[in-house]
Amino acid sequence: MSRILIVEDKPALRAMLGRLLREAHTVVLAADGAEGLARIEAEPFDLVITDVRLPGADGFTVLERARALAPETEVILMTAYATVAAAVDAVKAGAYDYIAKPFEPDALLLKVARALERRTLRARARQAEAALARLEDGGEMIGDSPAMRRVRGLIERVAGLDVTVLLTGESGTGKELAAQAIHRMGRPERPFVAVNCGAIPAQLLESELFGHARGAYTGADQARAGLFEEAADGTLFLDEIGDMPLDLQVKLNRTLQERTWRRVGEGRERRLAARVVAATHRDLEAEIAGGRFREDLYFRLAVYPIALPPLRARGDDLFALAARFVASAARRFGRPVEGFAPDALRALAAHRWPGNVRELAHAVERAVIVADGDRIGAADLPESVVQRTPPPGETPLAEMSYRDAMARSRDRALRRYLDALLGRFEGNVTRAAEQAGVERESLHRLLRRAGLDADSYR
């Protein structure tokens, strides 16, 4: 249902317009220009219908402010015949259309329908442009491994539901891409707003999320909408939720529970219309045990948890991702690179990718820049990818005997296999053992032999 603001100082006309539009839309009425501006500052609208001559602030000021705050908002001006020329100028400045008084109700309804249709079409165009940009930049969720098929299935099931989603996984696994996929499938024509809770100072994060009233604190010389308002009835993505301060966790938990929120320094409660998707690379259960995260907020967020697998557990997805990143970087930098030489492919397969997909993207981008021909060689990859730094106490391969070096090579292969196997079954040793055709105790012995923490798997 579209939200429409009507700004008209004549009570009878204002009431008639409200009755006319309320059957199909959510309508808010304002009695003068000043009240109209206050409403625009307080909440988003799809369409503003405003008289030109108003006390407090004229219709042109309302138009200018509405378009400044939300360029996607459409505006229709109501005007007397004497000001039609000015209204035409306003259309040139960004208003959708004008209607001269007196007018027939059907004439206004037609303009309203066309204005809202244009807003929808423009929103779809923006979504299409964003989707194209994601495809060109490798921003889609690529991969056909069992782990990624499972993630896509979970996303498809939840996308159309109004529930909170918690995305977990190591840094660089693509949690924001997963959030965008949930949004595209569920609320594609509405806003997607993302904020990194760990990148904003704690004292500013509350105002960033909830907004503030004028005079709420020193320096707040005007009211400001927060990200909950900006997200409207779309999606608010709270990245790195594990870094949110405890006192703000209390306020967020109340917002999710009551489905209402307030600006800082303001008593008025506003309805929460946005769907919240949160993400973290932290183990929130461990954070709860350490007193750094609230258990009640965790259960509010984890209504529908989705775990993003690390790149090392995604098998041949690695090569599909690398190919996409090569094509994107070659196009962006105007380079003739088309793929990888065999030694580079071996290096990519051998690396454990602690930084996951993000690390792979940066490594390929750098290689595209430095490669001489149409193929990336191992020498073009970052040293961190080609040469593994041995952990403390481990003898470098170059200093080992042939027999010991071969033994370590086998251990590394075993470690990669076990990583992929347990990643597929999300650490479930029983299911992994069944797939591998061994007893559970045998798989535990293999984990210990490969230097993995057998006790960390269930």
| CATH code of the domain in which 60 resides | 3.40.50.2300
Share of the chain above pLDDT 90, in %: 38
Which has more pLDDT, 120 or 243? 243
Average of per-residue pLDDT across 193-220? 81
pLDDT at 204: 82
d(CA 77, CA 50): 5
∠ CA 389-390-393, rounded to 5° = 145
What beta strand segments (E) does 285-411 contain?
304-307, 339-340, 375-376
Residue 415 sits in a domain whose CATH number is 1.10.10
What local confidence, expressed as pLDDT, does residue 30 receive?
A: 94
Instruction: Please tell me whether residues 300 and 320 are part of one structural domain.
Output: no
Last-in-domain residue among 293, 309, 325: 309
CATH code, 267: 3.40.50.300
Q: Is the pLDDT of residue 14 over 80?
A: yes
Q: Is pLDDT larger for residue 218 or for residue 189?
A: 189
For residues 372 and 416, state if they share a domain. no
pLDDT at 187 over 50: yes
pLDDT at residue 377 tops 50 = yes
- The answer to whether residues 210 and 295 belong to one domain is yes
Q: Is the pLDDT of residue 432 over 50?
A: yes
Is the predicted pLDDT of residue 193 greater than 50, yes or no? yes
* 337 occurs within a structural domain: yes
CA distance 376 to 363: 11
pLDDT of residue 83: 66
User: Domain check: are 295 and 342 in the same one?
Assistant: no
Q: How far is CA 354 from each of CA 357, 377, 386, 415, rounded to the nearest angstrom? A: 9, 21, 14, 14
What's residue 208's pLDDT?
A: 87
Q: Does any domain span residue 171? A: yes
Q: Measured between alpha carbons, how far is 381 from 379 in angstroms, rounded to an integer?
A: 6
User: Residue 75: which H helix or E strand, with range?
Assistant: strand 74-79
Q: Residue 132 falls within a domain, yes or no? A: no
Task: Specify if 214 maps to a domain.
Answer: yes
What local confidence, expressed as pLDDT, does residue 24 receive?
Answer: 86
321 within some domain: yes
Q: Which residue has the higher pLDDT, 195 or 133?
A: 195
What's the pTM value of the predicted model, to 2 decimals?
0.58
pLDDT in tens, 32-78: 999 999 999 888 889 999 998 899 888 889 998 888 887 788 999 99
Domain termination residue (choose one: 326, 351, 386): 386
* Beta pairing partners, 4: 27, 47
Q: In which domain, by residue range, is 22 found?
A: 3-122
Same domain assignment for residues 327 and 282: no
Q: Does residue 391 fall inside a structural domain?
A: no
Handedness of CA 195, 249, 227, 142 (dihedral sign): positive
Strand 47-51 and strand 26-30: the pairing is unpaired
Residues 296, 356: one domain?
Answer: no
Q: How far apart are CA 315 and CA 59, in angstroms?
A: 60
Q: Is residue 134 part of a domain?
A: no
Q: Please give the residue that has the higher pLDDT: either 214 or 238.
A: 238
Whether 276 and 330 map to the same domain: the answer is no
Query: Could you say which of 264, 293, 309 is where a domain stops?
Result: 309
Q: Sorting pLDDT into bands at 50, 70 and 90, what band is 134?
A: very low
Q: Are 295 and 176 in the same domain?
A: yes
**Total domain count, the chain:** 4
Separation CA 33–CA 58 (nearest Å): 6
Is residue 142 within 8 A of residue 311, CB to CB? The reply is no
Q: What is the per-residue pLDDT across 285-321, written as a single tens digit (0 to 9) for each?
A: 999 999 999 999 999 999 999 999 999 999 888 988 9
What is the DSSP secondary-structure string of 10-34?
A: -HHHHHHHHHHHTTTSEEEEESSHH
User: Same structural domain for residues 320 and 215?
Assistant: no
Q: Using alpha carbons only, what angle is made at residue 152 by residues 147 and 157, rounded to the nearest 5 degrees?
A: 130
Residues 104 and 10 in one domain: yes
DSSP-based three-state secondary structure for 86: helix
392 in a structural domain = no
Domain shared by 318 and 305, yes or no: no
Mean pLDDT over residues 191-207, rounded? 86
**Mean of all residue pLDDT scores within the chain:** 83
Q: How much is the average pLDDT of 111-136?
A: 66
Residues 299 and 332 in one domain: no
Q: Which long-range contacts (CB under 8 A, 24 or more apart) does 15-19 make?
A: 16/105, 17/49, 17/108
pLDDT of residue 138: 42
